Amino acid sequence: MPQARRGGRLPFPDAAFDHALVCFVLEHLPEPAAALAALAELGRVARPGGSLTVIEGDHGSVLLHPNNPRARAAIACQVPLQRAAGGDPEIGRRLGPLLRQAGLAGVRVSARLLHADGSRPALGDGFVRRTFAAMVAGIRDEAIGAGLTDEAALDAGLDALRRRTAPSATRSSRPPPTCRRG
């Protein structure tokens, strides 16, 4: 996708693939022109009748049970930081219109709920602890530097988020739409 971000072409001929997949990329592109260009470029390399799967997050749609204000505050630091970097942390909710604006046909969008709790330890560890909490931990310095939080509050939020894998905890998020190239 670096070529598409710069307005260039992917190094593949038209209709080269039966299926194309993009996962957690569009949310990092400047909006809306770069995301539209990237989607149109993916549509170009998919054969007529082929398909494209787009998986993007929506950092504004995190559900926690029981709710934890500290975890929610730590997660919320991502949204303004990603926007300040030129991305769209809530692009997941806008994928349908973006896919259509990119000229893709047969767009079907379905939000997917990813449910992780203590009854699914591998998912809780793999997604909540090693992916989602690690992603929030990765913005630590930027969040503190931007004045969005302080060390103690972010650490408390990360601890609360990591505890989401306990038997009585739940963490959910939404991904992916698909469409077919006409």
* pLDDT given at position 54: 92
* pLDDT given at position 175: 45
Tell me the per-residue pLDDT of 67-102, one tens digit each, with 9 for 90 and over: 889 999 999 999 999 999 988 998 988 899 989 998
CA 61 and chain centroid, separation = 11
> Which has the higher per-residue pLDDT, 120 or 37?
37
* pLDDT given at position 5: 47
**Direct distance between the N- and C-terminal alpha carbons of the chain, in angstroms, rounded to an integer:** 22
Range of the domain at 85: 2-180
How far is residue 65's CA from residue 155's CA, in Å, rounded to a whole number? 19
Report the percent of the chain where pLDDT is more than 90. 43
Q: 107: which 2 tokens?
A: 């767009």
What is the value of pTM for the model shown? 0.76
Residue range 112-141: mean pLDDT, rounded:
85
> Which has the higher per-residue pLDDT, 176 or 108?
108
Mean pLDDT value across the chain = 84
Tell me the per-residue pLDDT of 15-26, one tens digit each, with 9 for 90 and over: 999 999 999 899
| Other CB atoms within 10 Å distance of the CB of residue 59 | 21
Residue range 52-60: mean pLDDT, rounded:
88
Strands lying side by side in the sheet with 178-180: 17-23, 46-55, 178-180
Q: Taking 60 as the threshold, does the pLDDT of residue 144 lie above it?
A: yes
* pLDDT given at position 67: 84
Residue range 120-130: mean pLDDT, rounded:
84
CA distances from 69 to 72, 82, 87, 116, 160 (A): 5, 21, 25, 18, 9
CATH of the domain at 91: 3.40.50
Q: Taking 80 as the threshold, does the pLDDT of residue 166 lie above it?
A: no
pLDDT band of residue 6 (cuts 50, 70, 90) is: low
Total domain count, the chain: 1
* pLDDT given at position 176: 46
Q: Taking 80 as the threshold, does the pLDDT of residue 1 lie above it?
A: no
